[in-house]
């Protein structure tokens, strides 16, 4: 549903309560229990942030991403789409 001609992003509501209409892939998972993903490398553990995939922002069901994922690298962080939202996540 993202409009390629105008680059518009529909309003979305993340599981963390964040509501906005921009393509901020990290904002969707910010503050969730598994917002980061541990990666061990060279005796150290790094914690890069999980991110929402384009399929989540496009309200694709099912997701066309590998394994039907909506987040990466931890596919279990968000397993369902945002409900359709109105401007500013208002109630009509």
pLDDT value of position 1: 47
- Cβ 50 vs Cβ 38: under 8 Å: no
Cα–Cα distance for residue pair 58/55, rounded to 1 Å:
5
The residue extents of the domains of the chain are 1-81
- Cβ 53 vs Cβ 69: under 8 Å: yes
Cα–Cα distance for residue pair 59/20, rounded to 1 Å:
14
pLDDT tens-digit map of 2-22: 545 666 788 999 998 999 998
**pTM for the structure as a whole:** 0.82
Other Cβ atoms closer than 10 A to 46: 11
Q: Would you give the distance in Å from CA 61 to the centre of its chain?
A: 14
């Amino acid at each position: 549903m993202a409009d390629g001609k105008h680059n518009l992003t529909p309003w979305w509501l993340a599981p963390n309560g964040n509501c906005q209409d921009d393509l901020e892939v990290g904002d969707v998972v910010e503050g969730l229990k598994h917002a980061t993903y541990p990666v061990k490398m060279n005796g150290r553990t790094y914690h890069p942030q999980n991110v929402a995939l384009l399929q989540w922002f496009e309200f694709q069901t099912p997701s066309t991403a590998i394994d039907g994922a909506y987040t990466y690298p931890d596919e279990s962080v968000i397993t369902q789409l945002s409900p359709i939202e109105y401007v500013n996540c208002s109630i009509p």
